[in-house]
């Protein structure tokens, strides 16, 4: 009798798991279909309003002068032997100083860290990377090439190529997600972790599934699962959607901080208008659902989490919940009036808070190899 009950319990547990998995993927594909319908309606409306310009966009041939500003650092390249990929990065500060490595988000590139490159080069070897699929770094064609394990290994390989065995790691948005994962998998390589507007991946998964409001704000995760169509929607009307992402009143930079200049915006258009650039950026999203939940969660490094109060994409409640997964000092700063694009929107405040965090505890000398 006991054996029968045991087998029945195992069967019910497996059935419950299968139902949960089925419900999970049904939610994803159902929401993808809904987002597709909405996008098709937007496309049709655009065609009605702008029949001659909807399908026109321009590939920028010449980089704007701000991308060659020598005060930001030196443009460098590294080819990683294991993956065969070439990565572009901008570096400043003396070689041999502690390494501060910056990882950008979507849809950005190294330039999003321009204010921090200038600020921290006095004390650190600062390096802002174009992550795989972005900017001047190589763009793998396969969606599978953007799985979490490959993105995390990229960071490890770059740190080691630069001649370091540890770093102060700074990430925003998708770069923040990869920074969390790197700190989880290689705790010995992260002296301090600084994340901007990006929750711990497990916090995001748990919270989004329980809060429809966050699921709605994350609708782009589902829409971007589609092949090719998201690239089209981001390109029409000469990348109007991308421009609005950075400049609109609801989502853009500068609602209570620094405005994005016309030249700054053109820098983004130059990077994102190149052939294949949007596909590389969107491929990060196209692997996210198969990579969650995580098998490991705990972060052993000291963590600074900076959060823009007016983030249009991430609800603030997730920030405090990150504390559950951190087994070291955790500092959370909510910046009033700041947008999702925190390091560009409020660079002076962000830089001051980072300096304060770096001076805590071990002090700056702890970053040296």
Tokens (6 digits) for 332: 């959370």
Q: What is the rounded distance in angstroms from the CA atom of residue 55 to the CA atom of residue 175?
A: 31
SS3 of 151, please?
helix
| Closest residue by Cα to residue 303 from 277, 282, 278, 333 | 333
Work out the average pLDDT over 77-87: 93
285 belongs to the catalytic site = yes
Instruction: Give me the helices (H) in the chain, please.
Output: 2-49, 114-120, 148-161, 174-185, 201-210, 212-217, 219-223, 229-247, 262-272, 277-282, 288-291, 317-321, 342-345, 347-359
> pLDDT by residue (tens digit) across 200-220?
999 999 998 889 899 889 989
pLDDT, tens only, 323-336: 999 999 999 999 99
**Cβ 361 vs Cβ 355: under 8 Å:** no
Tell me how far apart the alpha carbons of residues 37 and 192 are, in angstroms, rounded to a whole number: 43
Q: What are phi and psi of 293, to 5 degrees?
A: -75, 165
> What are the phi and psi torsion angles at 331 (to 5°)?
-120, 130
> What tens digit of pLDDT does each residue of 94-132 get?
999 999 999 999 999 999 999 999 999 999 999 999 999
Nearest to 273, CA basis, from 60, 98, 75: 60
Given a contact cutoff of 8 angstroms between Cβ atoms, the answer to whether 172 and 193 are in contact is no
What's the alpha-carbon Rg for the chain, to the nearest Å? 21
Choose, from 207, 285, 325, 367, the residue flagged as catalytic.
Answer: 285
Task: Compute the half-sphere exposure of residue 7: CA atoms within 13 Å on the CB side of its CA.
Answer: 4
Is the pLDDT at 284 greater than 60? The verdict is yes
Amino acid 38: pLDDT: 78
Distance CA 54, CA 238 (A): 8
Identified catalytic residue from 88, 104, 200, 340: 340
**Dihedral (Cα; 197, 60, 135, 278), 10-degree rounding:** 70
Write the pLDDT tens digit of every residue in 219-273.
899 899 999 999 999 999 999 999 999 999 889 986 566 788 999 999 999 999 9
Phi and psi of 190, rounded to 5°? Answer: -120, 110
Give which of 220, 199, 227, 210 is closest to 318, Cα–Cα: 199
Write the pLDDT tens digit of every residue in 6-44.
555 655 566 565 566 556 556 666 767 777 787 788 888
Catalytic residue chosen out of the listed positions 173, 264, 311, 345: 173
The reported pTM is 0.89
- Domains along the chain with CATH numbers: 65-200+287-359 (3.40.50.1820)
């Amino acid at each position: 009798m006991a054996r029968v009950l045991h087998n029945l319990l195992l069967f019910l547990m497996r059935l419950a798991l299968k139902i949960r998995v089925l419900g999970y993927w049904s939610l994803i594909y159902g929401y993808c279909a809904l987002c597709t319908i909405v996008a098709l309606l937007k496309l049709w409306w655009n065609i009605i309003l702008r029949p001659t310009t909807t399908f026109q966009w321009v590939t920028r041939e010449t980089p704007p002068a701000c991308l060659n500003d020598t005060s930001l650092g030196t443009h460098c390249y590294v080819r990683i032997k294991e993956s065969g990929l070439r990565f572009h990065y901008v570096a400043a500060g003396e070689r041999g100083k502690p390494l501060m490595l910056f990882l950008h988000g979507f849809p950005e590139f190294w330039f999003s860290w321009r204010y921090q490159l200038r600020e921290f080069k006095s004390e650190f070897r600062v390096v802002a990377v174009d992550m795989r699929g972005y900017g001047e770094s190589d763009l793998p064609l396969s969606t599978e090439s953007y799985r979490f394990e490959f993105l995390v290994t990229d960071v490890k390989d770059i740190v080691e190529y630069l001649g370091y065995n540890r770093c102060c790691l700074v990430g925003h948005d998708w770069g923040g997600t990869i920074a969390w994962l790197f700190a989880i998998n290689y705790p010995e390589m992260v002296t301090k972790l600084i994340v901007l507007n990006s929750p711990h991946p497990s916090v995001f998964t748990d919270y989004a599934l329980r809060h429809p409001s966050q699921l709605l704000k994350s609708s782009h995760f589902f829409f971007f699962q589609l092949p090719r169509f998201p690239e089209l929607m981001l390109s029409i009307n000469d990348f109007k959607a991308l421009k609005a992402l950075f400049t609109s009143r609801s989502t853009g930079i500068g609602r209570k901080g620094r405005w994005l200049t016309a030249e700054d915006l053109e820098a983004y258009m130059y990077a994102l208008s190149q052939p294949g650039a949007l596909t590389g950026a969107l491929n990060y999203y196209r692997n996210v659902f198969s990579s969650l939940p995580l098998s490991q969660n705990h972060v052993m490094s000291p963590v600074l989490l900076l959060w823009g109060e007016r983030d249009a994409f991430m609800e603030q409640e997730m920030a405090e919940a990150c504390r559950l997964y951190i087994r070291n000092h955790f500092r959370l700063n909510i910046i009033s009036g700041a947008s999702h694009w925190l390091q560009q929107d409020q660079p002076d405040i962000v830089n001051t808070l980072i300096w304060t965090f770096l001076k805590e505890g071990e002090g700056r000398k702890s970053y040296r190899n």
